[in-house]
Amino acid sequence: MSGAVLVVDFGAQYAQLIARRVREAHVYSEIVPASITAADVRARGPVALILSGGPSSVYETARAPRLDPAIYELGLPMLGICYGAQLLALQLGGTVERTGAGEYGRTTLRRAEDPGVLLADHDAESTCWMSHGDAIAAAPPGFCVTASTPGAPVAAMEDDVRCLYGVQFHPEVAHTPGGTALLARFLARAGAAPTWTEASIVAEQVAAVRAAVGEQRALCALSGGVDSAVAAALVLRAIGERLTCVFVDTGLMRAGEGEQIEATFRDAFGVDLIHVRAGERFLRALSGVTDPEAKRKIIGELFIREFEAVARALEAAGTRPRFLVQGTLYPDVIESGGGHAATIKSHHNVGGLPADLDFTLVEPLRRLFKDEVRAVGTELGLPDALVWRQPFPGPGLAVRIVGEVTPERVAIVRAADAIIAQEIAAAGLTRELWQSFAVLPALRTVGVMGDGRTYGHPIVIRAVTSEDAMTADWARLPYDLVEAMASRLVREVPGVNRVVLDVTSKPPGTIEWE
């Protein structure tokens, strides 16, 4: 996309965060691999480059990623962060040394007498977030040093004439006060226009969908989650009544999910909605199956078969859609290596699509992060209850039931999930949590109720905070909230006699249990 900021990824844990911070400044950004060539950059026509951090040492000549030297000759504004700053210094004639005493975590940053452009508003002494072993010992010719730390004599440097900047610390993380302002000053100096807004995204994608679909029809699989809902709303605005939505009710949905989808799309938006009630068929297919990957494959395969049946019926009626709407997001593209849009991960879109499914994909959200999708949903007029719905796995409650999926166990976890959602909402924490839900393990536990022995089910409360689900931390829920949930779960869900709290982050665990 012309006018974008390209974030060159050198293996950084924060590359996505850099891209997100740029977008928060209303400037479009994309993550590109370190192998990108000058010709590739020129073809993309970016307004600036940001070189990310990374785990390598610039001296590991055999393994350390390098930037194509010809890119420096393009005259683009550039900001190097951590490894990116060291690479910038090394490739332009500076010196990088292995100090033997790295800096990790919060570090005192001392601004030079001349703070340059990026640190103009920084205090003489402030805090920054460091994570490095090597350090820039001497800036390249033409650069001035604008800040230092005890372990980094060149913690910030710039050549404002050529719009080249480098910082050893991480301005993209919340632990660096003033980091967002620093990035904003770089973007302003680079001439990056703040035009990436919800309204511009909607207008651009509506135009793109109209151009792609033309006068044909499109089909969209609604899952109950925000991604498919926003994708459907975007395409609806683009082609109107030529969109048909299909909601395959697997019997593994959250409480009230089907009703909410119908109320939103059929009643409020007037969408041609086909509601396939296939719960009994899915539960029969899952009978006796305990392996998590086998469950996913069964659900994915049956979902596709139900979807194909709808497509055949529409074709028989003379209204066969030629396009398929998918709610693929930008993190999905990144995790899949940026391959063709039809490459869909099994954990994302209910098992993926078979190669012989004869549709052309329409993916209006594939350049967006989750928070941007929510903002676009609000712009399109979707209700908050749907826009702010927490992410929900394609296989539904089946991945929150460890072991066999039976009607009884689905009923238990659905009721437990509803109670957790109600209490989280009552505590005003819904938007602060990435996900919160109930898990039903494959075991029973002894308890006592009414002076009698019980042999019932434990429920695991899982609640995490995250920005994009690639990493997550367990949520520190208030004890009184945990107590309220536990009390209701044991009292109101038949068969439950114990409640535990999952305090595992990702990594090493995953957000879902299966």
**Active-site positions?**
82, 170, 172
Q: Residue 371 phi/psi, 5° resolution?
A: -65, -35
Q: Which two tokens stand for residue 485?
A: 């949930």
Closest CA to 251 of 299, 204, 210, 320: 299
What radius of gyration, in Å, describes the C-alpha atoms of the chain? 26
Please give the Cα distance from 430 to 261 (Å, whole number).
20
Which of 467, 468, 460 has the alpha carbon at shortest distance from 504?
460
Distances (CA, A) of 166 to 100, 119, 138: 21, 11, 12
DSSP letter at 242? Answer: G
Measured between alpha carbons, how far is residue 16 from residues 6, 12, 217, 230, 328 in Å? 11, 9, 35, 22, 16
Q: Which residue is listed with tokens 């610390």?
A: 169
End-to-end, the C-alpha distance of the chain in Å comes to 37
Neighbours of 430 (CB within 10 A): 16
CB-based contact 506:471 (threshold 8 Å): yes
Q: Is the dihedral of CA 61, 66, 69, 73 positive or negative?
A: negative
Token digits for 373?
């999708």
The secondary structure of 134-169, three-state, reads EEEEECCCCCEEEEEECCEEEEEEEECCCCEEEECC
Sheet containing strand 323-325, edge to edge, reads: 272-277, 243-249, 218-222, 323-325, 360-362
What whole-number distance in Å separates Cα of residue 325 and Cα of residue 360? 9
Is residue 96 a contact partner of residue 137, using CB atoms and an 8 Å limit? Answer: yes
**Gap between the Cα atoms of 418 and 396, Å rounded:** 14
Cα 304 from chain centre: 25
Using CA atoms, how far apart are residues 108 and 119, in angstroms rounded to an integer?
Answer: 14
The residue with tokens 């109101």 is: 492
**Nearest Cα residue to 227 out of 386, 421, 37:** 386
Length of the chain: 514
